[in-house]
Amino acid sequence: MTILIPILGDQLSHGLASLHDIARADAVIVMVEVAEETTYVRHHKRKIALILSAMRHFADELRADGWVVDYIRLDDPENSGSFTGEIARAIKRHQPKSIRIVEPGEWRVAKMIKDWAKHFGLPVDVLPDDRFICSILEFQTWAQARGDLVMEFFYRDMRRKTGLLMTADGKPESDQWNLDKDNRAPPRRGLDYPAPLPIVPDAMTRDVMALVADRFPGHFGRLDGFALPVTATEARRALHHFIRTALPAFGTYQDAMVTGQDWLYHSWLSPAINLGLLTPLAVAQAAADAYAAGDIPLNAAEGFIRQIIGWREYVRGYYWMEMPEVATANVLEATRALPEFYWTGHTDMLCMAEAVRNTRDNAYAHHIQRLMILGNFAMLAGVDPGDVADWFLVVYADAYEWVELPNVIGMSQHADGGRLATKPYAGGGAYINRMSDHCGRCRYDVKQKTGPDACPFNALYWDFLARHERRFRRNRRMVQMYANWDRMAPEMRAAYRASAAAFLATLKPAAKGWAR
Q: Which residues contact 297 (CB under 8 A, 6 or more apart)?
A: 248, 251, 291
435 scored as a contact of ligand FAD (CB under 6 A) = no
Residues of this chain, 359-388, that bind ligand FAD according to CB under 6 A: 366-367, 370-371, 375
Residues of this chain, 231-290, that bind ligand FAD according to CB under 6 A: 266-270, 273-274
Contact region with ligand DLZ (CB under 6 A), list: 103-111, 174-182, 475-483, 487-495: 103-111
Among 268, 314, 342, 444, the residue binding ligand SF4 under the rule CB under 6 A is: 444
Cis? peptide before 339, omega within 30° of 0: no
- Sign of the CA dihedral with 11 first, then 16, 22, and 23 last: positive
315 scored as a contact of ligand FAD (CB under 6 A) = yes
Give me the DSSP letters along 372-424.
IIIIHHHHHHTB-HHHHHHHHHHH-TT--HHHHHIIIIIIIT-TTSSSS-SS-
Query: Considering CB distances under 5 to 8 angstroms, the limit depending on partner class, which of ligand FAD, ligand SF4, ligand DLZ, none binds residue 349?
Result: ligand SF4
H/E run at residue 126: strand 124-127
In angstroms, rounded to a whole number, what is the distance separating the alpha carbons of residues 452 and 155?
44
Total chain residues near ligand FAD (CB under 6 A): 28
Distances (CA, A) of 66 to 26, 61, 63, 97, 276: 12, 9, 5, 21, 20
406 scored as a contact of ligand DLZ (CB under 6 A) = no
In angstroms, rounded to a whole number, what is the distance separating the alpha carbons of residues 45 and 54?
14
Query: Considering CB distances under 5 to 8 angstroms, the limit depending on partner class, which of ligand SF4, ligand FAD, ligand DLZ, none binds residue 33?
Result: ligand DLZ
H/E run at residue 99: strand 98-102
Contacts from 440-443 at CB under 8 Å and sequence distance 24+?
441/259, 441/350, 442/348, 442/349, 442/350, 442/351, 443/348, 443/350
Among 5, 69, 70, 106, the residue binding ligand DLZ under the rule CB under 6 A is: 106
109 scored as a contact of ligand DLZ (CB under 6 A) = yes
395 scored as a contact of ligand DLZ (CB under 6 A) = no
- State which residue, 351 or 481, has the beta carbon closest to ligand SF4: 351
Contact region with ligand DLZ (CB under 6 A), list: 100-108, 120-128, 135-143, 258-266: 100-108
| Closest CA relative to residue 259, chosen from 332, 161, 351, 164 | 351
Residues of this chain, 329-388, that bind ligand SF4 according to CB under 6 A: 349-351
Among 392, 444, 457, 514, the residue binding ligand FAD under the rule CB under 6 A is: 392
10 scored as a contact of ligand DLZ (CB under 6 A) = yes
Among 103, 404, 416, 463, the residue binding ligand FAD under the rule CB under 6 A is: 404
In angstroms, rounded to a whole number, what is the distance separating the alpha carbons of residues 208 and 60?
15
Query: Considering CB distances under 5 to 8 angstroms, the limit depending on partner class, which of ligand FAD, ligand DLZ, ligand SF4, none binds residue 43?
Result: ligand DLZ
- State which residue, 457 or 462, has the beta carbon closest to ligand SF4: 457
Contact region with ligand SF4 (CB under 6 A), list: 49-57, 97-105, 233-241, 453-461: 453-461
- Tell me if 128 sits within 8 A of 17, measured CB to CB: yes
Q: Strand, coil or helix: what is 12?
A: coil
In angstroms, rounded to a whole number, what is the distance separating the alpha carbons of residues 46 and 271?
11
- State which residue, 108 or 367, has the beta carbon closest to ligand SF4: 367
Tell me how far, at minimum, the Cβ of 429 lies from ligand SF4, in Å.
4
Tell me how far, at minimum, the Cβ of 43 lies from ligand DLZ, in Å.
5
- Sign of the CA dihedral with 133 first, then 139, 31, and 240 last: negative
**Residues contributing to the site for ligand DLZ (CB under 6 A):** 8-10, 32-34, 37-38, 43, 48, 51, 104-106, 109, 400
Return residues touching ligand FAD (CB under 6 A): 266-270, 273-274, 304, 307-308, 311-312, 315, 366-367, 370-371, 375, 392, 396, 398-399, 403-404, 407-408, 411-412
